Structure 1
């Protein structure tokens, strides 16, 4: 969906729980709520989280639409 320099944001089909997206990198993976942008589970460096959320916040509707299409 979106890639930073050493990480990516992904939304997967057949996923469970509240609507969320993943931030993934070579040494970390976490899930973040689309509605609140709270960290649900996993670890992520603070700088990566900040950078990813800077992209995710203005794209919240796109993230939710993608989640619903893949998991609806």
Structure 2
């Protein structure tokens, strides 16, 4: 697992040996979701709306970096 960003009470991570389409995880104390890198859509799980907005603001300009890291960890 690589943690790429931390918010006030959540983090964005990419896991190695993961499955499915390229995605990242938004995780907090009481929630976890997976977000597709290509579309920035939540594909599984749930996340508070304000956290999703903040996380997507961070991720939107870093899609290439997220994809590169996902591909490196999931050859």
Query: Do the structures match in fold with TM over 0.5?
Result: yes
- Corresponding residue to 2:37 among 34, 48, 58: 34
Give matches, 1:54-69, under 5 Å. 54-69=57-72
Unaligned runs of 5+ in 2: none
- TM-score normalised over the length of structure 1: 0.99
Instruction: Provide the aligned length of Structure 1 versus Structure 2.
Output: 72
Q: Report the CA distance between 1:63 and its aligned residue.
A: 0.2
Other-structure match for 1:20: 23
- TM-score normalised over the length of structure 2: 0.95
| Partner SS, residue 22 of structure 1 | strand
Q: Deviations over 1:21-58 (max 9, x none)?
A: 00000000000000000100001000000000000000
After superposing on structure 2, the runs of 4+ consecutive aligned residues of structure 1 that deviate more than 6 Å are none
- Corresponding residue to 1:48 among 47, 51, 74: 51
Unaligned runs of 5+ in 1: none
What's the C-alpha RMSD, in Å, of the aligned pairs?
0.3
CA distance, structure 2, for counterparts of residue 59 and residue 3 of structure 1: 14
